[in-house]
Structure 1
Amino acid sequence: MIKEFLEYKLARLGYVDSEILKTPLGTRIVIYAERPSRIIGKKGAVVKELSQILGSKLGVENPQIDVIDISKVDVPEMFPKVVAYRIANAMAKGIRFRRVAFIAIRQVTEAGARGFELVISGKLSTERAKFEKYKIGKVYKTGADSTKTMRSAVVHVLLKPGIYGIKATIAPANARFADDFKLKLPVRQEAQAQ
Structure 2
Amino acid sequence: MIIIAAQKAFITRNLKYVQVNEYLNRELTLAGQGAIEIHKTPMGHRVIIHAVRLGMVIGRRGRNIRKITETLEHKYGLETPQLEVRDLDEPRLNARVMAGRLISQIQKGFHFRRAGYALVRRIMSANARGCEIQIKGKLTSQRARTEVFREGFVAKCGEPAEVYVDEAVLEVTLKQGVIGVHVKIMQPDAVLPDYAELIPDVFGSPEEESEDALEPVDEVKVDETKGEVDDVEPTEEKDAVAVPETVAEENIADESLLKKEDLEEEE
RMSD: 1.8
Give the aligned partner of residue 180 of structure 1: 195
Q: Normalized against structure 2, the TM-score is what? A: 0.65
Count the aligned residue pairs: 186
- Aligned 8 A contact 2:94 2:166 in 1: yes
Structure 1: 5+ residue runs without aligned partners?
190-194
Give the aligned partner of residue 12 of structure 2: none
Distance 2:55 2:189 in 1: 28
Structure whose residues are more often helix by fraction: 2
Report % sequence identity: 34
- Aligned 8 A contact 1:14 1:38 in 2: no
The equivalences for 1:52-71 within 5 A come to 52-70=70-88
Structure 2: 5+ residue runs without aligned partners?
1-16, 205-267
Distance 1:40 1:161 in 2: 35
The one-letter code sitting in structure 2 at the alignment partner of 1:39 is V
Distance 1:130 1:167 in 2: 14
Match of 2:170 among 128, 151, 155: 155
Give the aligned partner of residue 119 of structure 1: 134
- The farther-off stretch of 174-183 and 94-103 is 174-183
Cα 1:167–1:49, aligned 2, differ >3 Å: closer, same or farther? same
- Aligned 8 A contact 2:160 2:190 in 1: no
The one-letter code sitting in structure 2 at the alignment partner of 1:48 is R
Larger radius of gyration: 2
The equivalences for 1:81-92 within 5 A come to 81-92=96-107
- Deviation by residue 1:97-149 (Cα, 9 ceiling, x = unmatched): 01101110110111110000000111112111001101111110011111222
The equivalences for 1:5-154 within 5 A come to 5-70=23-88, 74-154=89-169
Runs of 4+ in 1 over 4 A off after TM superposition: none
- Aligned 8 A contact 2:43 2:80 in 1: yes
Structure whose residues are more often strand by fraction: 1
The one-letter code sitting in structure 2 at the alignment partner of 1:118 is I
Which structure carries more relative contact order (alpha carbon 8 Å, separation 6+)?
Answer: 1
- Deviation by residue 1:65-86 (Cα, 9 ceiling, x = unmatched): 111222xxx2111001111111
Distance 1:186 1:143 in 2: 34
Distance 1:20 1:127 in 2: 42
